[in-house]
Amino acid sequence: MKSREDNDYHSDDNLSIVISGSAAVGKTTLAEELAKEFKFTAYNGGDILKNIARERGYRVTEKDWWDTAEAIKFMEERKNDTSFDVAVDKMLLEIAGKGRAVITSYTLPWLTKYPMTFWLSASQARRSERMATRDNISVQEALYVIRLRDEKNKLIYKKIYGSEFGKNLEVFDIVLNTELFTLKSLIDICKEIVKRTRSV
């Protein structure tokens, strides 16, 4: 994957923010809150992929569709045909280049140096607890999904970009262990980081 060499952000009006991290770590919630705070538009790479799945005949009906058997089947198809993910990344790169966007993406921070980038981390155990609460399933079921999604995503992005997802975090401006904060504290901290960066 391409490495970022510096923090050469776009101007204030053209700033984009990319939030990355493994499944059920809080990316979407943070993205929505930052977009609301700074009057940016939120884009979810996973939602774009879901639209592709829907077009290919998958039954995409649930909010947390990625945790279902249908989604796991689609991930197998993605592993064999990487054109889906490449198309999504191309679209998100164009969106990021226009600015005033908050994007959740597994891969974008390694593909462009311009957006401000956040990496959110948490253990599989903690993410499983969050997913269980969110999706009303058992922690054991959630842990199975988390492990499977982590494994499949690594295989997919290794095949496309030749590097393991989440290994090299040097491309990120901010790395946060979400287990250290309440959700509100995490959101407040990230808002303050963006405010201070925009005022430089």
* Number of structural domains found in the chain: 1
Alpha-carbon distance values, 65 to 7, 50, 51, 54 (Å): 35, 8, 11, 11
What was the pLDDT predicted at 55? 93
As beta bridge partners, residue 177 has: 121
Low-confidence residues in the chain, pLDDT < 70: 1-13, 62, 199-200
**6 within some domain:** no
Would you state the pLDDT for residue 37? 97
In a domain, 158, yes or no: yes
pLDDT tens-place string over residues 133-142 = 988 899 999 9
pLDDT at 11: 52
Query: Is 4 within a domain?
Result: no
Identify any residues that bridge with 194 across adjacent strands, giving them in sequence order: none
* Within-domain flag for 2: no
Contact 79, 155 (CB under 8 A): yes
- The CATH number of residue 78's host domain is 3.40.50.300
Q: What average pLDDT does the chain have?
A: 89
Domain carrying residue 142: 12-195
State residue 4's pLDDT score.
Answer: 43
